Amino acid sequence: MALALGALLATDAAATDSFKFPAELWGGDAGGPEAEACDVVEPEPTCPPRWTFGADYLLLRSSFSNNTALFQATATNANSIVITPVNYDFGFASGVRGFIGYNFSRDTAVRFGYLGIDSTDTVVGVASGNYAGGNGTAYFGPFLTQAIPNTASIRSTANVSLDVYDIELARRFEIDTEADEAARWDTAGSAGIRFVDSSVSTTVDNYGPQGPSYLVTTDREFHGVGPRLALQGRRYLGERRRWSAFATGGAALLVGSYSNLDTRLVKQDNLFESQAVGGTLVVPNFDISLGTTWQWLDRTSISAGWMLMYWGHLGYSETIDDIIPGDVTTVPLTNSSLAYDGFFLRMTHSF
272: amino acid identity, one letter:
F
**pLDDT tens, the chain, 351 aa long:** 434 444 443 333 322 233 333 334 433 333 333 333 344 333 444 455 688 899 999 999 999 888 888 889 898 887 678 888 888 999 999 999 999 999 887 788 999 999 999 999 999 999 999 988 888 999 988 777 888 899 999 999 999 999 999 999 999 876 665 555 566 788 889 999 999 999 988 898 988 887 778 888 888 899 999 999 999 999 888 777 788 999 999 999 999 998 888 888 888 788 888 888 888 999 999 999 999 999 888 788 999 999 999 999 887 666 555 545 444 455 555 558 899 999 999 999 887
Spatial distance between the Cα atoms of 84 and 97, rounded to a whole number of angstroms: 38
**Strands 183-207, 214-237: parallel, antiparallel or unpaired by DSSP?**
antiparallel
Spatial distance between the Cα atoms of 281 and 284, rounded to a whole number of angstroms: 10
How many domains is the chain partitioned into structurally? Answer: 1
Do 74 and 132 contact (CB within 8 A), yes or no? Answer: no
Spatial distance between the Cα atoms of 273 and 71, rounded to a whole number of angstroms: 23
Flag whether the pTM goes above 0.95: no
List alpha helices for 107-149, DSSP H: none
Do 337 and 313 contact (CB within 8 A), yes or no? Answer: yes
- The domain that contains 265 carries what CATH number? 2.40.128.100
Domain that holds residue 67: 5-350
What's the count of helices (H) and strands (E) in the chain, helices before strands?
1, 17
Spatial distance between the Cα atoms of 151 and 1, rounded to a whole number of angstroms: 41
Do 271 and 308 contact (CB within 8 A), yes or no? Answer: no
Please report the pLDDT score of residue 33 as a whole number: 32
Quick one: DSSP state of residue 4? -
Spatial distance between the Cα atoms of 317 and 144, rounded to a whole number of angstroms: 15
Q: Max alpha carbon distance in the chain (Å)?
A: 88
> What is the sign of the dihedral through the CA atoms of 165, 224, 192 and 2?
negative
Spatial distance between the Cα atoms of 217 and 222, rounded to a whole number of angstroms: 17
- Per 3-state DSSP, the chain is made up of helix, strand and coil in percentages (nearest 5) of 5, 65, 30
